[in-house]
Every structure is written in C-alpha cells, then in structure tokens.
Amino acid sequence: MIINHPLLGPRDAQEFTYLGDASLINRPYWLSENALREFHDYLYLRDNPAGKHRELWFHEQGDRSWLVVTRNTVTHEITKVELARDVAKARPKPEVLQ
Amino acid sequence: MRYSALRLIKESLTGHKGWRPQWRDPAPQSAYDYVIIGGGGHGLATAYYLAKEFGGARIAVLEKGWIGGGNVGRNTTIVRSNYLLDGNEPFYEMSLKMWENLEQDLNYNAMVSQRGILNLVHTDAQRDAARRRGNAMILNGSDAEHLDTDGVRAMYPFLNFDDARFPIKGGLLHRRGGTVRHDAVAWGYARGADMRGVDIIQNCEVTGFRIEGGKCLGVETSRGFIGAKKVGVSVAGNSSRVMALAGMRLPIESHVLQAFVSEGLKPFIPGVITYGAGHFYCSQSDKGGLVFGGDIDMYNSYAQRGNLPVVEDVIESGMSLIPALGRARLLRSWGGIMDMSMDGSPYIDKTHIDGLYFNGGWCYGGFKATPAAGYCFAHLLKTDRPHDIATAYRLDRFMTGHMIDEKGQGAQPNLH
Ligand SMILES: Cc1cc2nc3c(=O)[nH]c(=O)nc-3n(C[C@H](O)[C@H](O)[C@H](O)COP(=O)(O)OP(=O)(O)OC[C@H]3O[C@@H](n4cnc5c(N)ncnc54)[C@H](O)[C@@H]3O)c2cc1C
C-alpha cells in the first residue's frame, strides 16, 4: 500500500506503524460524570467496519508525524490522508474547557 | 451411515455406489429452538453438542456461504494446550482432551495427529519464560518438556543452530500438541449434527435481528425471517458486523492472517516448529507440503488476502530458521479474517439482549478451541450459565478489570 503523506508525498506503508481507529484521538474528558464508562468504551470498543475506516498511522521511519488515513478495509483503497494534528485541532472542545 | 473398514471394503467391491451425501440440504423452517449463525468449526460444533449432549430440540445452523469456507478451512491446523494463564489453560486442556477422542466420537477421520509442538528459545530470558509456561501447563494437567540444544538437534538437525544473532538454546516440547485435518473437522461435525436432526442451511446470510422489548425473537436472512427462542452468534472475523446488526459494539478488531504451503516434499519435519526470534511456524502436511505462517498484516482488514511485505517477512524468518526452505517452491498462499480481541483471549457470553449469545474473539488460535468452544457455547445456550471451565470469557471483563492478556500487550489487538 502507498500512503500519500500530506507533507512528503507518496510513501510505502512499510515506513509506518499502525495504531488503529482514529476515534482514539477523541480521548474522553476525565471529569465527565460517566468517565469510567466513557474511558472503557474509548479504550476497548471498536466500530470495526467493513468498508470506509479512519485510522491512525505513525510515520516511524519518516518524519514521525501521525496521520489519519481513510482507507477501505475491504479493498485497501486509500481515499484521504490528513495530518492527525489538523484533525485533532478541528474537534470541538469538551464543554467544560470552552 | 456409519463409516467402518467393513463398509469401505464393501463399497470397494461394489464400485463405490453406496456412499450418500454426508448431510442434507434442507430448506429453512419458519422457527427453531436454537439458531446458530455461522457454519464454521465453532458453529457446527455448538450445534453438534447441543443436539448430542444437551437435548436441544429444533436446531439450525445458518451459513452465508458454504460450511468450511471460513477460517476453519483456512487455518494452519495446529492444536495445542500450552497457554500460561488460569483463565485459558484449563479450557485449552479440555479442548485437547476432546481432540484426542474426537474421531471416535464423530465416527469420522479427522486425521488428528499428536506429532508434538516445539517452541524454540534463543535467549536466557526466553528459556525462563518457557520454563514458567511449562510449569503452568503441567499444573493444569497438560504436558511439557524442556529440551537443551542437543535435544533439539536430535529432533531437527537441519535447523540453523549457530546463527550469530539468534542461536538455538533449546525448546519447550509439548508432545500431545499437533495437527488436525481442518476441513474434516467442519465436515465431521456437520455430519454428526445432521445425523442428530440439525438443519444445516447454507447460502443463508443473516442480515438482521428481530429484537422487541429487549428480547431477540429471531433473525432476518437472505432466505426470509427465521424465528428462534435462542440465537447463538459464531461468525469469527465477521463478529463486529453481525453484532452491529443488534446494535452492539464489540471489543474486537478484524485483521487478516496469511498462511502458505510449499510443493510436496519427502517427509522431513515430523512435528510442528515455532521460531522464537521471528514470526514463523512450520509443519509438514501428510501430502508433503510445508505448511507455514507468521504475523498478521497489522492493520484492520476484511479482505481475505494479505499484502506482500508480510509475505516477505514470513519467508525471511523461515529462511533464517530453516535454510533448506529456500530450495522449496511456494505452492499457494491465502488469508483469513480474524476476530482479534482486546486482550488476545476469546468471549463466550450472553449479551444484554435476552436470547442473544455470542462466541468470538478467537484471534489466530480458535481452531484448537473448536471442540471445547462448541461444547461450552452449547452449555451456555442450554443452561444460561457459563460452563465452569469458560467462566473467564466474559464480554464485560475490561470493565471489571479481569483481562486475560497472555502477552501483556494491552488493548492493542494487532500485537496479540
Ligand atoms: C491463516 C490462518 C491460520 C490459522 N492457524 C490456526 C492454527 O494453527 N491453530 C488454531 O487454533 N487456529 C488457527 N487459526 C484461527 C482459526 O482458524 C479460527 O479462530 C477459527 O477457525 C474460527 O472459528 P470458526 O471455525 O467458527 O470460523 P469460520 O470458519 O470463519 O466460521 C464463521 C462462519 O460464519 C459465517 N458468517 C459470517 N457472517 C455471516 C452471516 N451474516 N450470516 C451467516 N453466516 C455468516 C462465515 O461465512 C463463516 O463460514 C488460523 C486462522 C487463519 C486465518
């Protein structure tokens, strides 16, 4: 597989390591009322879809940036690659922090 | 029809005209007492034990393709009882004991071959870990022996003993482990279940559940609605997809694992060898092909095929352990989708929906579990209580802190 890195252009997927579902960016707020349940779901439960999947890849043997790759888990086709920091910054903040 | 030597002789003399199909091809009825989703090893074994041991009444197995087309027909056929942790080892020991008696029980030749499994060690730390594991195995009624380098050399003189980086320092030998002809397991259980009245319905994909007031009333399928008092889901790599139809999210990711077989060679590997310094394990089939595999492809996948970098990695590891491998030609490679769980251990549990039960999360090691998983799942379906030996396989164990993490890797399914 080739991952089209937003800064470096097309790179072999072998240069990366894989973490998993990009929802791992959305760490729950530790003071929320349901923090225990939210952290459980965050850490252990997955949508695990067959088809479009947004996932975190780390460019370990490259510029060491984290990417959010949108890939089809049935065909391995990659349709979008973003810097994880851009994705993280675009999230709404939890209410308490606003 | 019972199979026997006498029967074989009789058929040979009469042109083999008397053999009958091993199971019927019934149309689905409108309702059953038990519906098992998934005609893999686990689903068929569950139906078999429900019918045979637990007096289950009307039972159906629904399979979206053909039975044996999933992981039960794609694995590398290794059966063993060499786990470390209390939640696991008694279960796998029960399974191995069931394998030892399976062919007599099923009246079916599943080619159960206890040819021994040798886990190689290459460092002092690995030797310590192997000793600890061996002791845990013995404490749970399994068998384990420690071999030094000479002991390994006597069994497998052709291994690469003096590698500068990973010399072979010995191994943990599990003599009762071995291999079983994988699709014969599916066929044997299917025939046994069918003989006891189970309807095995192929080309019947489950597309939804009918759930009312927190109770599961049956399943929607490509062949219409089928009512059921209890539904057991046993769909391996498709676990998340099927349970999503019931609105559930699981502690599972699907990953692809590849396997390989070489051209047929004269016998030279009598048992199963696993490499301790890379992801590689190998045995030789009765036809002579070297059957081997290694690591999963590392990223979520529902494609029943893998990518080339892992092929290269497996073959490199193989070459560094068995240099003679380089002379053999590869015949085939394939992939299967595995239900990788969050701690590397499986689930056999009720769900929060009345009448809906789940068996899955078997990772790359569910073939060896087939008899015990079928038995314990049938027990749960019939009695609503987990079998004593499978009480640890709860879906909520991450909430309660009772993980069964053999490798201590944490919630990172691709590392288990
Ligand atoms: C390459 C490879 C090597 C392996 N090596 C080993 C090994 O050496 N030792 C070991 O112990 N284990 C091994 N495993 C793991 C083992 O094969 C699996 O854990 C085990 O087979 C899973 O249980 P099963 O047989 O019931 O699965 P499957 O045979 O996959 O059965 C599940 C069935 O469910 C059906 N299904 C899915 N969705 C639906 C639906 N919606 N409706 C109806 N039916 C549906 C599928 O078509 C499939 O037939 C290996 C796996 C692979 C891929």
pLDDT digits (tens, 9 = 90+) for B157-185: 999 999 999 999 999 999 999 999 999 99
Whole-number pLDDT of residue B56: 73
Residue type, B42: H
The stretch A46-59 carries a mean pLDDT of: 98
- Cβ–Cβ gap A50/B254 under 8 Å: yes
Whole-number pLDDT of residue A94: 66
Domain ranges of chain B: 25-78+182-251+343-415, 115-178+253-341
Return the percentage of chain B with pLDDT > 90, whole number. 98
Distance (Å, whole) CA A29 – CA B51: 49
Bridge pairing between strands A9-12 and A2-5: antiparallel
Q: Whose CA is nearest to atom 32 of ligand 1?
A: B235
Whole-number pLDDT of residue B55: 84
Q: Which chain A residues are closer than 8 Å to B413 by Cβ?
A: 20
Distance (Å, whole) CA B262 – CA B274: 17
Domain ranges of chain A: 2-90
Pair B398, B251: CB distance under 8 Å: yes
Structure tokens at A71: 């890939």
Bridge pairing between strands B356-360 and B224-233: parallel
Distance (Å, whole) CA B71 – CA B333: 14
Distance (Å, whole) CA A9 – CA A13: 12
- Cβ–Cβ gap A46/B252 under 8 Å: yes
Averaged pLDDT of chain A:
94
Q: Which chain B residues are closer than 8 Å to A49 by Cβ?
A: 240-241
Q: Say yes or no: domain B25-78+182-251+343-415 is CATH 3.40.50.10740.
A: no
Distance (Å, whole) CA A32 – CA A37: 10
Whole-number pLDDT of residue B134: 98
The stretch A73-84 carries a mean pLDDT of: 97
Distance (Å, whole) CA B31 – CA B232: 14
3-state secondary structure of B100: helix
Q: Which chain A residues are closer than 8 Å to B254 by Cβ?
A: 48, 50, 73
| Residues in contact with A53: Cβ distance below 8 Å, sequence separation at least 6, in sequence order | A21, A70, A71, A72, A73, B300
**C-alpha distances out from residue B46 to B57, B102, B164, B231, B305, Å:** 13, 14, 49, 12, 28
Ligand 1 atom with the shortest distance to the CA of B69: 49
Pair B193, B61: CB distance under 8 Å: yes
Structure tokens at B9: 């002789």
The stretch A38-54 carries a mean pLDDT of: 98
| Residues in contact with B92: Cβ distance below 8 Å, sequence separation at least 6, in sequence order | B80, B81, B82, B83, B142, B368, B369, B372
Q: Does residue B233's CB lie within 6 angstroms of at least one atom of ligand 1?
A: no
Q: Does residue B43's CB lie within 6 angstroms of at least one atom of ligand 1?
A: yes
- Cβ–Cβ gap A73/B252 under 8 Å: no
Within 10 angstroms of residue B220's Cβ, the number of other Cβ atoms is 15
Whole-number pLDDT of residue A21: 98
Instruction: Give the residue from chain B lying closest to A49, CA to CA.
Output: B241
In CATH terms, are B25-78+182-251+343-415 and B115-178+253-341 the same topology? Answer: no
Pair B3, B107: CB distance under 8 Å: yes
Distance (Å, whole) CA B227 – CA B210: 9
Instruction: Give the residue from chain B lying closest to A17, CA to CA.
Output: B298
Size of interface A-B (CB pairs under 8 A): 68
Distance (Å, whole) CA B239 – CA B252: 8
Pair B130, B136: CB distance under 8 Å: no
A92: confidence class by pLDDT, cuts 50, 70, 90: confident
Residues of chain B falling short of pLDDT 70: none
B115-178+253-341, what's its fold? D-Amino Acid Oxidase; Chain A, domain 2 (3.30.9)
A2-90, what's its fold? Folate-binding fold (3.30.2270)
Whole-number pLDDT of residue A98: 55
- Whether pLDDT at A93 is above 80: no
